[in-house]
């Protein structure tokens, strides 16, 4: 396994709509293993393939904390089947270091996709896991969490971030970077 380079905003690959996988082979599984290692090394709680420069629909998530151990989730071609409620919470992203902002997301989601072996899976999630799933699936559609901010907040982000003075606004996210 290898730790891959994480692409940072405004890298073009982060804006592209990723392609679904038609076959899952050893190469796919090696990529997944590298993504998992890269996520843990960052450290982050989620990673999408475009964040390592691969425009394919694969995400990995592990929202474990010191208090609670959670399973590693690997999803190929994930799709949100159902979404309900909404909640505002602070978010960060491994591709946008040192910037955090509150984003509105569905409170709970049902997501279907394929696991590392290509077997169909269905995940019912709420709280942080639901947020991470939505954040990572957004990455597959070329959408970053800053795209979901109000126009004023987004303009503020762009000005500050591109001048690399964003650390002045940085906070510590309880949820970790996804
Ligand atoms: Ni992200």
10-residue averages of pLDDT along the chain (178 residues)? 96 98 97 98 97 98 95 98 97 95 97 98 97 98 97 92 58 60
DSSP-derived 3-state class of residue 131: helix
DSSP-derived 3-state class of residue 145: helix
Predicted local confidence at residue 117, as pLDDT: 97
Q: Is 37 a catalytic residue?
A: no
Q: What is the pTM of this model?
A: 0.92
Assess contact for 71 and 121: CB atoms under 8 A: no
Predicted local confidence at residue 166, as pLDDT: 45
Give residue 121 CA to ligand 1 midpoint distance, Å. Answer: 22
Query: Strand (E) positions, 20-151?
Result: 46-48, 58-61, 73-84, 87-93, 96-105, 108-114, 120-126
Neighbours of 153 (CB within 10 A): 14
Assess contact for 52 and 136: CB atoms under 8 A: no
Domain boundaries along the sequence of the chain? 12-149
Binding-site members are: 93, 135, 139
Return the CATH number of the domain spanning residue range 12-149. Answer: 3.90.45.10
Predicted local confidence at residue 160, as pLDDT: 85
């Amino acid at each position: 396994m290898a730790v891959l380079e994480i692409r940072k905003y405004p890298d073009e690959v982060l804006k592209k709509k990723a392609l679904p996988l038609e076959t899952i082979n050893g190469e796919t599984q090696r990529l997944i293993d590298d993504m998992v290692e890269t996520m843990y090394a960052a450290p982050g709680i989620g990673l999408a393939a475009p964040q390592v420069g691969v425009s394919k629909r694969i995400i990995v998530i592990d929202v474990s904390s010191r208090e609670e151990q959670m399973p590693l989730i690997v999803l190929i071609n994930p799709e949100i089947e159902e979404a309900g409620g909404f909640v505002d919470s602070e978010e960060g992203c491994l591709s946008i270091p040192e910037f955090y902002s509150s984003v509105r997301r569905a409170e709970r989601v049902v997501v279907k996709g394929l696991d590392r072996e290509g077997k169909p899976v269905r995940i019912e999630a709420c709280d942080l896991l639901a947020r991470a799933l939505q954040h990572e699936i957004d990455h597959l559609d070329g959408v970053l969490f800053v795209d979901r901010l109000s126009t004023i907040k987004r303009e503020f982000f762009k000005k500050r971030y591109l001048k690399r003075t964003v650390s002045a606004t940085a906070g510590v996210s309880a949820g970790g970077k996804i």
